[in-house]
Structure 1
Amino acid sequence: MSRADAAPGDEPAAQPPRRGGWETFRRLFLGYVAPHWKVGLVAVAFMIALSATQTGFVSVIRPLLDEGFVKQDPATIRFYAAVLIGLVLFQGVAHFVSHYLISWIGRMLVKRIRLDVHDRLLVMPSAVFDRHSAGRLVSKLTYEAEQVAGAVTQAAVTLVQDLAMVVFLVGYMAYLSPRLMVIVVFVLPVVGGIIAYVTQRFRKLSKRIHRSVGGVGSVAEESVHGYPIIKGFGQAERERRRFEQVNERNRRQSLKFQATKFAAVPLVRLAAGSALALIIYLVTFESLVEVVTVGTFASFAGALMMLNQPLKSLIGINATLQRGIAAAQSIFQVVDTPGEEDTGTRQIERAAGEVALRGVRFSYDGEREVLRGIDLAASPGERIALVGPSGGGKSTLVSLLPRFYEPTAGEIRLDGVALPAYRLADLRRQLAMVSQDVTLFNTTVAENIRFGAPGPVTEEQIRQAAEAASARGFIEALPHGFETEIGEDGVMLSGGQRQRVAIARAVLRDAPILILDEATSALDTESERAIQQALERLMAGRTAFIIAHRLSTVERADRIVFLEQGRIVEAGTHGELLARDGRYAALYRMQLGAEPAAGAGQGQEG
């Protein structure tokens, strides 16, 4: 149901509070990673083993040089050559097992996050969709979910494997030469300071990047869905400039992120290189030369240089981690959004169809009222036509019936019971909707018709529904009949065909209350006639609310209600309203091309 009456930029529902970085990571870990702790423990064990082999390579250098090459002992050299081969083989197995298991956890996490977000999208109040563009919401299922997976998998590998490697290497260096280790101790705080600064900057830039990516997705989606309007009005260049602006904003933020990331790495290397240079200088002193053998120095220098890679990874993963946390915060904003209020306990199989609105008022933003005290009652099987100028509140009124929105005052009753008393699923099962903007899914014609059914249906029932909707003829003429794939939003069908599929869907739903929102306004005369006949069959025996701007389509309604500026101006049958010569009569004559009565054009908004 469209929200034509709402002002742009309105934010009717408050967003849930944003969580801190540590709290977000804790929730992510406990809620999405911890359930796979058994797999995680195996992965961690192999990652620690993998880190130990890295230190093992360095530790082999000392005896290989001192006992093998310096003493020229071939047996020792061959032994340590075999040890190196063994380390390489074990390292390969440990690398495969640990990384595969961590990736498995990451994909399980992405799957669970996407399910949680998608489940929340299905129950979120309509006001949330009014506030967020579809592009931004979809990006949470795709781009941001992958960012979270990267944060978990890469962070796990780095924080366990590389941190273990740093501990092993530092411990081995302290074992080799406590004196030389003092130099390294002075270098580590410098590295820690660099990491702390980079962490803060990464967090800030990550949030900006997520906002800019959402902007790119939003504009791109509008360009894809609105291409006929863009082309028809010759606004391709304008849209290109608009997309260029959000695209450039994303480029700038991404480059700032990468610049920070790449600048941090050489700073860490400079600190480690300076430490190595100082060590080389110090070993020239006689007091150290006597204790530091060639093998010891080579092992120590090798271990120090090997620290570069894990330290670089720790900084690099911090970038990924901060990006992932920012993505998780954005995702949890959706997951934590309260769902639609569904506290009703009353069950109903099939309503009689009596609908009553009493003093109903509604506002999207809490300030400007769209409906202003609506009193309206529909008897079972009665056809109520809602007419009047655009912005009068017609679509808003019918969107209150399935509780897409809640009245800000007054109440709506179905069969004498207030709508909130019913279970939401039971209430909505009583309604079927056909609107001007038909939504079809990228599947077969049969599946699109079956979508409206409250339970399992047979192929014969689908064909009967299509027959009732005057759709069976063109459907059976399609390449694969009812099993023809119709593309995204039914792009393979014409406007009239799409509308008839939507009517067939409503027929199969067999609901006692029918909402028709401009169901024929965008069609040619021939298609409109065929669809009008189908709608007549559909409305038989049902309470129907019909929104129409073409007054010729509502002449046979049991009652016509003229809405203007959120109020009921007049109501009656077609003949009664013409005889009254009020707003309806003036608008009717205007549409027929006759000379309008005085003031007939007042209040028209297109």
Structure 2
Amino acid sequence: MNNKKTVQKQGAALKPFLTLLRETKPSYSLLTTAIALSVISTLVGLVIPMFTKTLVDGFSLASISKLQIAGIIGAFIAQTIAGGVSIYLLNYVGQKMVAGLRDRLWRKFLVLPVSYYNDNRTGESVSRMTNDTGIIKTLISEHLASLFTGVISIVGSIAVLLYLNWKMTLVLFAVLPLSALILVPLGRQMYKISKGMQDETASFTATLSGVLSEIRLVKASGAEKREYEAGRNGIMNLLTFGIREGKVSAMISPLVSFVFMMLLVVIIGYGGMQVSSGALTAGELVAFILYLIQIIMPLTQLTTFFTQIQKAKGASERIIETLAAEEENYEGEAEATAAHGPITVEDVSFGYKDGEKVLSNVSFTMLPGQVTAIVGPSGGGKTTLFSMLERFYEPESGVIRLGDRPVTDFSLKSWRSLIGYVSQESPLLAGTIADNLSYGLEREVSLEEMRRAASMAYADGFIGELPDGYETDVGERGVKLSGGQRQRIAIARALLRDPEILMLDEATSSLDSQSEAVVQKALTNLMKGRTTIVIAHRLATVVHADQLIFMEKGRITGKGTHEELLNHHALYREFATQQLQMNEPAAYDGSKEEVLSKNDQNSGSGRRSAYPRIGGSVSES
């Protein structure tokens, strides 16, 4: 009963792995051809001991014809070619399957929601793509054929041995089950070890990725020793698993050798007695030993195969878990082509964890072409609100509307195409300035368009001074550029997107005063004619916004202009008293040249047409 449950459990564990392989849609014709060639090579090998038997039992060289010699040579050549082609085809199929699997994983990673990456480290995802898929590839390309050829070799050899001498064959059956009793538990142990090693490898990869991507922070903080210890712990954990795996392998190989030697001694001893009594010829004994080798060697290969399949089961479990993760819903009833009408946030509530609200019944409206500023103490939910507007997360309750329609009615791609986002960090990808400016745009962007956008973002000057201009490599995460330069490239990128809705996460808070002044002018160009929402850490940058929204602990506690909040909101008045006396530079000073008139503000489309976009001339500030 217990054995039946074990078989059922093993079968259930193997089922997801086989399902995963089927879903990669391998070339069954090539796979079948490769396995068939391996089988042919094995069958040819089964004939050789019988030829040896005849030769030992008195077959003379003089009686061998040229045709027989040619046949034997041809058989060896055919065996060699069939084996070589089989190995190549299996490698080809294995590589194609793992490429298909990696393609599925890569597509999956790109459509998973932001919440997935909040809970899973980047290095673990990288490990799924590289280490785990590599294990599956190794199983298919290097060990799959051994399953079929091994079974055929064992069954064929046993059938011939029963024909030659059934008594001696029964001696084999007395010893082989003993080896199985030893090797099966070791295979289970190998599965547990390999699964633990895959998890530890993923964790170690995540640690490396995190540290190396922030190496400047590590060095600036003097944390090299701390990170070395963290990395060393991962290395030692991998060493522990590796040693445990080595111990199991060290037991498997000698045990197989022991079984082989024991069988060899028994067969030679018992067979020698049979030869001396005349019950067995010397040729039959030689053939028996050769067939014994053709049983033991495939048994070793099958042991390796089942060890590898235990590893592949562990790898496939993690891959299947990733592929089963819930994706973002990119579909929608309509395409968002323009941000006509107000954007309304209506009673929106959200929490990252159950029972912990980050936003509670947040409601406000942004009119077309107007500037809305979100202010308040840190931890109030401002960044989370931005994430909701970009649909990185869906509200637990409430709705966000564009005009009269919920934004969830629009396809995700079309909605996000309306939004331009400039953050404090201004992330850049490794590549050239031109690559980063045109990033995400499906259309071709000409150099003239880039220059026009860069000019409006006050970036054209410093780009022109670089040795390679727009083809200058920015380095990983843009480290070869200054903070102000990165910000201006991010603004130029947003200008090229020509967004209807602009989201600014206090894009100047980390800059020096000179860089800030330039970036503020660039932001003024960017904001013209667009519905803008700004996260403001400094009130001086937003005092002339059309409306200010004050957020505390996920709730809106005040709405209105700067003057209205100053008169009626105590905490805002305290913020203003502390900050505005510091004479910080303002994002725009309220002059008629930089702040649009109320008439323009109230006519969204009219305001947009009053200012040139990328297709027009460069505005001057």
Q: What's the TM-score, normalizing by structure 2?
A: 0.87
- After superposition, the C-alpha distances for 1:168-187 in whole angstroms (9 at most, x for unaligned) are 32233223222211111222
CA pair 479-20 structure 1, distance change in 2 beyond 3 A: farther
Q: Which residue of structure 1 lines up, in the alignment, with residue 42 of structure 2?
A: 51
Q: Which residue of structure 2 lines up, in the alignment, with residue 118 of structure 1?
A: 106
SS at match of 1:361: strand
Counterpart CA distance in 1 for 2:48 and 2:426 is 66
Shift of 1:591: 3.5
Q: Which residue of structure 2 lines up, in the alignment, with residue 458 of structure 1?
A: 446
CA pair 581-128 structure 1, distance change in 2 beyond 3 A: closer
Is the deviation greater in 307-316 or in 162-171? 162-171
CA pair 362-290 structure 1, distance change in 2 beyond 3 A: same
Q: Which residue of structure 2 lines up, in the alignment, with residue 166 of structure 1?
A: 154
Shift of 1:113: 0.9
Counterpart CA distance in 2 for 1:589 and 1:65 is 108
CA pair 551-54 structure 1, distance change in 2 beyond 3 A: farther
Does residue 311 (structure 1) correspond to residue 302 (structure 2)? The answer is: no
SS at match of 1:433: strand
Counterpart CA distance in 2 for 1:75 and 1:470 is 95
Shift of 1:523: 1.6
Is the deviation greater in 149-158 or in 107-116? 149-158
Listed as ranges, the gaps of 5+ residues in structure 1 are 1-18, 596-606
Counterpart CA distance in 1 for 2:375 and 2:493 is 25
Q: How does 1:253-292 map to 2 (within 5 A)?
A: 253-285=241-273, 289-292=277-280
Structure 1 segments (4+ residues) deviating >6 Å: 77-81
Counterpart CA distance in 1 for 2:505 and 2:526 is 14
Does residue 325 (structure 1) correspond to residue 313 (structure 2)? The answer is: yes
Candidates 542, 549, 555, aligned match of 2:537: 549
SS at match of 1:485: coil
CA pair 294-82 structure 1, distance change in 2 beyond 3 A: farther
Shift of 1:506: 0.8
The RMSD of aligned alpha carbons is 2.3
Q: Which residue of structure 1 lines up, in the alignment, with residue 13 of structure 2?
A: 21
Partner amino acid for 2:529? G
Partner amino acid for 1:456? E
Q: Which residue of structure 2 lines up, in the alignment, with residue 351 of structure 1?
A: 339
Partner amino acid for 1:31? E
Q: Which residue of structure 2 lines up, in the alignment, with residue 604 of structure 1?
A: none
SS at match of 1:321: helix
CA pair 175-578 structure 1, distance change in 2 beyond 3 A: same
CA pair 58-416 structure 1, distance change in 2 beyond 3 A: same
Counterpart CA distance in 1 for 2:441 and 2:79 is 57
SS at match of 2:544: coil
Counterpart CA distance in 2 for 1:67 and 1:288 is 17
Shift of 1:268: 2.3
Shift of 1:450: 1.1
Counterpart CA distance in 2 for 1:494 and 1:80 is 80
Contact residue 151 and residue 322 of structure 1 kept, 8 A? no
Counterpart CA distance in 2 for 1:122 and 1:342 is 12
Partner amino acid for 2:22? L
Counterpart CA distance in 2 for 1:575 and 1:58 is 101
CA pair 80-187 structure 1, distance change in 2 beyond 3 A: farther
Candidates 32, 47, 50, aligned match of 2:24: 32
Is the deviation greater in 120-129 or in 272-281? 272-281
- After superposition, the C-alpha distances for 1:197-245 in whole angstroms (9 at most, x for unaligned) are 1332222222211110111011111211222222222221111111122
CA pair 399-581 structure 1, distance change in 2 beyond 3 A: closer
Contact residue 387 and residue 562 of structure 1 kept, 8 A? yes
Q: What's the TM-score, normalizing by structure 1?
A: 0.89
Is the deviation greater in 116-125 or in 228-237? 228-237
Contact residue 147 and residue 327 of structure 1 kept, 8 A? yes
CA pair 353-273 structure 1, distance change in 2 beyond 3 A: farther
Shift of 1:291: 2.7
CA pair 352-56 structure 1, distance change in 2 beyond 3 A: same
SS at match of 1:437: coil
Count the aligned residue pairs. Answer: 573
Listed as ranges, the gaps of 5+ residues in structure 2 are 1-10, 584-621
Relative contact order: is structure 1 or structure 2 higher (C-alpha 8 Å, sep ≥ 6)?
A: 1
Does residue 520 (structure 1) correspond to residue 511 (structure 2)? The answer is: no
Does residue 334 (structure 1) correspond to residue 326 (structure 2)? The answer is: no
CA pair 132-60 structure 1, distance change in 2 beyond 3 A: same
Counterpart CA distance in 2 for 1:351 and 1:95 is 65
CA pair 340-312 structure 1, distance change in 2 beyond 3 A: same
- After superposition, the C-alpha distances for 1:242-277 in whole angstroms (9 at most, x for unaligned) are 112222112212221232123112212222322221
Counterpart CA distance in 2 for 1:365 and 1:341 is 21
SS at match of 2:27: helix
Q: How does 1:57-136 map to 2 (within 5 A)?
A: 57-68=48-59, 73-76=61-64, 85-136=73-124
Counterpart CA distance in 2 for 1:397 and 1:238 is 35
CA pair 288-430 structure 1, distance change in 2 beyond 3 A: farther
Counterpart CA distance in 1 for 2:426 and 2:48 is 66
CA pair 233-185 structure 1, distance change in 2 beyond 3 A: same
Contact residue 353 and residue 513 of structure 1 kept, 8 A? no
Shift of 1:486: 2.3
Partner amino acid for 2:84? F
Contact residue 558 and residue 569 of structure 2 kept, 8 A? no
- After superposition, the C-alpha distances for 1:445-466 in whole angstroms (9 at most, x for unaligned) are 2121112435333332222222
- After superposition, the C-alpha distances for 1:334-391 in whole angstroms (9 at most, x for unaligned) are 1111211345302221112621111111100111100111111110011111122221
Candidates 355, 367, 371, aligned match of 2:355: 367
